[in-house]
Structure 1
């Protein structure tokens, strides 16, 4: 029910005359096909559009969330989304810029298809007057013979143009080169658009701007085979402050699965957003209106030290990805650990979930503070730990440690304790039975 309640509360901003205007204001249009033609088609009535998600991991991540929210905004404008989970393309994977992908076995990919399909249900409405539909490209790909695929689809592709695609050219210029398998990925994605056009009258695809070469594969194929023009919208890449994109290929993925990225870790990630980025993040990742976001622009300009915009961003996105209760628990845990909140008021699950994201150790009953400081890495040696205690810089559960003989015990009754050196260096001690 929580998901349906969240979806039911979502609205587009009615201060915009057209959905394209809102998408552009939110920074969600990096590239598109003929914008005027697209505007007109979106204004004439409901269209069907799609976005694809390949099961190359057991969870969707932050980059996928950009696509899901773009799809949701279009759905709220009355259009019909198709969420494609690539049971076929996931067996291959799109070309990475630097190296060949490791191929996963069919059983693993099938299991990940189910996981990703279920995740889309949190962000798209599969009921109502214009429900989302889930599709799997394995349904139309698995019955193709190699000869039929080459004759019916491959003949419409020109190798010269395929070689010019950014992902392909990057790999051709790398030490690893590119296999025929990954070279053919763009043909499979083009076939997806053609099949969806034929089956569902799908006339638009959305995706990331780094996928533009694969996106245009479909529009080109439909034009060649059907003689029709269809549309694309590509969103910009969301990047870290150092210019690197978010994503599993960078080793810093923020996953939408709570087992891989906990609600607390999700909350802290957004809470740590730079002032320079936070307004853009509010536009992309929340359903706050232009007027509401303008207020947070004022907060960032006039009182940045209060971090009001970051707090709202963290709460909104954590609720969107997980639940309202998870978001509030993560907020309370963050306040209790790093602010004025009370540790004793936290639920045990919230405290333990937060501490699991910090350096931590497990003990049976108790442990000396000196040993705990070393074991958690807050101090490099026992002598350093004793000096830190003597200088008054160590606390357990926010109570200052006065002597080096002190122990860390389960004084909160939550099977966990918070060990701190200074205000920002924290660690967890878990008590196991």
Structure 2
């Protein structure tokens, strides 16, 4: 006999482990009959999201779909009628984020940017954190089943991602956790109210399923095969209970998104739901944009400093920078065209366009404070820069600069020429003296002019560190232990 705990066993504890039986949240047959007011819960904040709240939002003045298309942010839409609908009334638009790590990464950034574009055009952005679907794992784009996360890790990831989304999108965004409605669903109710509307042939025809079956020797588990129904029902729930009529996602999410619009059509008997996908972020050579030598480009400052985030975009090739300015920033197309024209003129200062890209994206993700931190750390890499160094700024570049620990009494009154050799900054005293004479030896970004220069108390930044530089690129952080 199937019980309330059967579905969790089959879908990796996807539903609640509570021992009391709770019925599936009833689904209205008339999509326009929304609840007048609903309290929506995120991991750390409760927000009131009224079905009539859209009437108080600014009336959309621009065709958001056209804006996105002009910037290269639309891959496919389920119906061209969305072009008309989006200019007639404010919409509620959602994008899902599965909590597979403590932070979102660059691959998630376009979803946040498009949600922000909708918000700027008078619509309501909704970020759905997959506290439930994260327990199953989306097979899209994967050749192996995702590793299972324990509940504590998953809940921490949900909380961290919610904080990131709130910081980036601000208070205008609604942040939800789909575990809030899935935790009360039993396996039998799921089969009765959702499964009976799904057709195996259609599910097998989804690109994410076909690719997985072709690419993986281990095939596809029932758990992962069911993912499209779980995400599809999320759309049904959000559409019916909260008036969310548009779902966006990457191009690899097309099958999951259309699973939702199909379920809405069959269960709620309406064609009022829409899906939109955006292209994957690719470089001009066709390779995926969003990876570095050290791994993923995380959006959390605790996993990747604003400085390193900034530097990643600052080093984008010329061939890609205009495309990324259109996709990843909110600069007008006219302003971007001016930048592109300047790049082709003589006298163009190299990396000017990249600097603008890095500034705009870093500000969007990390805020003005994060951008200023990144700029200060960037200046710290330039010997002779006028920016006053502090301990936090030096720590911002610490991952990219070698360090050497010394006790305070080993540093005070120690000659800088000797220190540059003992720390390994330079190979010999003769090399240090030569560098000094050439004007290339720096202490805390200040040029050293005297061979007799010794370290004094006031040289030690906040009593913790020194920054030595030999030329433009050779640096050493001396930590005072």
TM-score using structure 1 length? 0.83
User: Given the alignment of the two structures, is residue 423 of structure 1 paired with residue 444 of structure 2, yes or no?
Assistant: no
User: Given the alignment of the two structures, is residue 84 of structure 1 paired with residue 132 of structure 2, yes or no?
Assistant: no
User: Given the alignment of the two structures, is residue 120 of structure 1 paired with residue 168 of structure 2, yes or no?
Assistant: no
Residues 75-129 of structure 1, C-alpha deviations (whole Å, 9 max, x = no match): 1211122211111011122114221111111121112112111221123243xxx
* Secondary structure of 1:56 counterpart: coil
**Partners of 1:369 and 1:407 within 8 A in 2:** no
Which of residues 296, 303, 306 is equivalent to 2:339?
296
Q: Give the corresponding residue for 1:7.
A: none
Which of residues 22, 25, 44 is equivalent to 2:70?
25
Distance in 2 between residues matched to 1:339 and 1:18, nearest whole Å: 48
Residues 247-277 of structure 1, C-alpha deviations (whole Å, 9 max, x = no match): 5899732111111111111111111111111
* Secondary structure of 1:417 counterpart: strand
- Cα 1:81–1:312 change in 2 (3 A) is same
**Partners of 2:106 and 2:290 within 8 A in 1:** yes
- Cα 1:349–1:249 change in 2 (3 A) is closer
- Cα 1:295–1:408 change in 2 (3 A) is farther
Distance in 1 between residues matched to 2:292 and 2:319, nearest whole Å: 25
Structure 1 position 386, deviation (Å): 7.3
Distance in 1 between residues matched to 2:292 and 2:102, nearest whole Å: 14
Q: Give the corresponding residue for 1:155.
A: 196
Q: Give the corresponding residue for 2:275.
A: 232
User: Given the alignment of the two structures, is residue 259 of structure 1 paired with residue 306 of structure 2, yes or no?
Assistant: no
- Cα 1:176–1:423 change in 2 (3 A) is farther
Q: Give the corresponding residue for 2:33.
A: none
Structure 1 position 422, deviation (Å): 4.9
User: Given the alignment of the two structures, is residue 269 of structure 1 paired with residue 312 of structure 2, yes or no?
Assistant: yes
Structure 1 position 53, deviation (Å): 0.9
Which of residues 207, 227, 230 is equivalent to 1:166?
207
Distance in 1 between residues matched to 2:460 and 2:106, nearest whole Å: 36
- Cα 1:251–1:431 change in 2 (3 A) is closer
- Cα 1:401–1:253 change in 2 (3 A) is farther
Which of residues 80, 99, 103 is equivalent to 1:59?
103
* Secondary structure of 1:202 counterpart: coil
Q: Give the corresponding residue for 1:220.
A: 262
**Partners of 2:383 and 2:442 within 8 A in 1:** no
**Partners of 2:383 and 2:469 within 8 A in 1:** no
Residues 161-184 of structure 1, C-alpha deviations (whole Å, 9 max, x = no match): 222323222221223322221121
Which of residues 186, 195, 198 is equivalent to 1:145?
186
* Secondary structure of 1:306 counterpart: coil
Structure showing greater Rg: 2
**Partners of 1:358 and 1:427 within 8 A in 2:** yes
* Secondary structure of 1:24 counterpart: helix
Structure 1 position 134, deviation (Å): 2.0
Distance in 1 between residues matched to 2:270 and 2:292, nearest whole Å: 36
TM-score using structure 2 length? 0.75
Q: Would you say how many aligned residue pairs link Structure 1 and Structure 2?
A: 402
Q: Give the corresponding residue for 1:190.
A: 232
Residues 142-176 of structure 1, C-alpha deviations (whole Å, 9 max, x = no match): 11111211222122222232223232222212233
**Partners of 1:63 and 1:247 within 8 A in 2:** yes
Distance in 2 between residues matched to 1:78 and 1:364, nearest whole Å: 58
* Secondary structure of 1:259 counterpart: coil
* Secondary structure of 2:301 counterpart: coil
Residues 44-102 of structure 1, C-alpha deviations (whole Å, 9 max, x = no match): 21122211111111011222221111011111211122211111011122114221111
Q: Which has the higher helix share?
A: 1
Structure 1 position 191, deviation (Å): 0.7
Q: Give the corresponding residue for 1:98.
A: 143
Q: Give the corresponding residue for 1:324.
A: 368
After superposition, the CA RMSD in angstroms is 3.0
Residues 245-394 of structure 1 correspond to what in structure 2 (within 5 A)?
A: 245-246=288-289, 252-302=295-345, 303-338=347-382, 341-342=385-386, 345-365=388-408, 366=411, 368-373=419-424, 389=432, 392=435
Structure 1 position 305, deviation (Å): 3.8
Structure 1, unmatched stretches of 5+, are 1-15
Structure 1 position 192, deviation (Å): 0.4
